[in-house]
Amino acid sequence: MSSPLPNARDSFAASCRRLGPRLMRDLGLSDVQAAGLLGNLGYETGGFRHLQEIAPAVPGSRGGWGLAQWTGPRRVALEAWCRARGLDPADPEAGYGYLCAELRTTEAPALAALRTTTTLAAATETVWRRYERPGVVAPARRLAWARRALAALRDGPAAPAPARRPGRA
C-alpha cells in the first residue's frame, strides 16, 4: 500500500484504461464508480504492481492476494473459484473474472451500493467500507488513487479488452 509514484502512475493509468471500460461494461458502472473501485484496488496493490500482500497484518498468515488483495476466507474462495475453472490465481484475467463474480454474488450488496454513488469520494468510500473492508483504511490515499484512475479513464484512450473472459459461464 503506497502513494502513487511517477512510475507507478504510468503503469497504473494504463491498467485503469484497460480495466475501467471493462468494469463499466461488465458491472454497469459509471466512470466515477469504476474509478472509485480502481482507486481502492490501486491502493491495495501499489498501483497493480503487487500480487501478494507485502506485510500481512496477521502474523503467519498468507496475507492478501490478487487484484483486491483477498484475505482469509475470501482468498480461499478465490483459489477455489480458480481451481474449479482451471485458472491460475496469478493470472490477471483470473483476478478480474473473480472480482466480477464476487461482486455479482457474495458481494452483490457492495456492488448495489456502489452503483448508487454519484461522486468520486462517495464511490471510493463505498468500496472500502462495503467491499474491501480493510484493516488499514487510509481514505486520503485511496481517494488519491481514485483521482488518478478517473483522470486515466477520462484522458486516455481505452486499451482493447482481452479476447478471453474467465469466469463466464
For residues 78 and 80, give the distance between their C-alpha atoms in angstroms, rounded to a whole number.
5
For residues 1 and 145, give the distance between their C-alpha atoms in angstroms, rounded to a whole number.
11
Angle among Cα 83, 89, 94 to the nearest 5 degrees reads 90
Each residue of 143-157: pLDDT tens digit? 999 999 999 999 865
Give the pLDDT score at 97.
Answer: 98
Give the pLDDT score at 119.
Answer: 98
User: pTM for this structure?
Assistant: 0.86
Neighbours of 44 (CB within 10 A): 24
For residues 83 and 143, give the distance between their C-alpha atoms in angstroms, rounded to a whole number.
34
Give the pLDDT score at 6.
Answer: 47
Going from the C-alpha of 57 to that of each of 62, 116, 127, 155, the distances in angstroms are 10, 31, 20, 36
Nearest to residue 69, comparing CAs of 84, 86, 93, 49? 49
Residue 52, classed as helix, strand or coil, is: strand
For residues 167 and 169, give the distance between their C-alpha atoms in angstroms, rounded to a whole number.
6
Each residue of 4-34: pLDDT tens digit? 444 555 899 999 999 999 999 999 999 999 9
The C-alpha cell that represents 169 in the structure block? 459461464
Do the beta carbons of residue 23 and residue 37 sit within 8 Å?
yes
Q: For CA atoms 51, 5, 19, 31, give the dihedral sign.
A: positive
The predicted model gives 82-93 an average pLDDT of: 97
